[in-house]
């Protein structure tokens, strides 16, 4: 994997892809699928996300204040849905879905080697955790690769329906 400049993180998350979120608690890593996230600031990159208190990952994220956001491409779609359909309470999801945990540099939760980018994050604001399950994260370190050519992300439309990235268009904009 290669360093990804932190200023480029917004280009990964702003388009709204389904992502994976890993946590580690008491030495045990877990992974969930997540679509409710958004950019909050460009650099250092801040991200808000909702992790339901019904999710097994909630307690780990709240207690350890660390996670990794990993970006899966289309090829992982069926695994992503499988990950969303079961709980780390019952199963080791890395093992069940054949995903490879790789050591992160700044946080305890693992990177996901099969994803085309990984973001090591720390929780920096918990004001809205109790009310809305809303965490604000800072990206401490970002990785791209192993190289995947033009990875297509998937966008959840509910009940397992996903729009895959299609045509790319380019318009003249001054917005980063």
Select from 20, 129, 136, 140 the one that contacts a second copy (CB under 8 A): 136
Residue 50 binds a second copy, judged by CB under 8 A: yes
Closest CA to 127 of 62, 54, 52: 62
Which tokens in the block code for residue 162? 């996903």
Beta carbons of 149 and 92 less than 8 angstroms apart: no
Question: What is the C-alpha to C-alpha distance for residues 118 and 140, in angstroms, rounded to an integer?
Answer: 11
Candidates 3, 14, 92, 105; binder of a second copy (CB under 8 A) is 14
User: Under the criterion CB under 8 A, does residue 59 sit at the interface with a second copy?
Assistant: no
Shortest distance in whole angstroms from residue 10 CB to a second copy: 6
Q: Is 141 in the site for a second copy (CB under 8 A)?
A: no
Applying CB under 8 A, the residues found at the interface with a second copy are 8, 10-11, 14-17, 33, 35-41, 46, 48-50, 74, 77-78, 81, 84-85, 125, 127-128, 131-134, 136, 152-176
């Amino acid at each position: 994997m290669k360093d990804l400049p932190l200023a480029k993180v917004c280009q990964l998350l702003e388009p709204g892809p389904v992502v994976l979120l890993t946590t580690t608690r008491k030495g045990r890593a877990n992974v969930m699928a997540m679509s409710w996230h958004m950019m909050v600031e460009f650099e250092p990159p801040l991200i808000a996300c909702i992790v339901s208190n019904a999710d097994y990952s909630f307690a780990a994220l709240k207690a350890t204040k660390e996670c990794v956001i990993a970006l899966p491409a289309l090829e992982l779609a069926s695994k992503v849905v499988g990950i969303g359909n079961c709980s780390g309470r019952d199963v080791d999801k890395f093992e069940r879905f054949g995903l490879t945990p790789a050591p992160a540099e700044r946080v305890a939760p693992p990177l996901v080697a099969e994803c085309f980018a990984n973001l090591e994050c720390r929780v920096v604001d918990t004001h809205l955790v109790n009310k809305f399950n809303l965490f604000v994260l800072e990206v401490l370190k970002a990785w791209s690769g192993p190289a995947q050519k033009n990875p297509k992300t998937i966008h959840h439309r509910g009940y397992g329906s996903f729009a895959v990235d299609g045509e790319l268009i380019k318009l003249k904009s001054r917005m980063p």
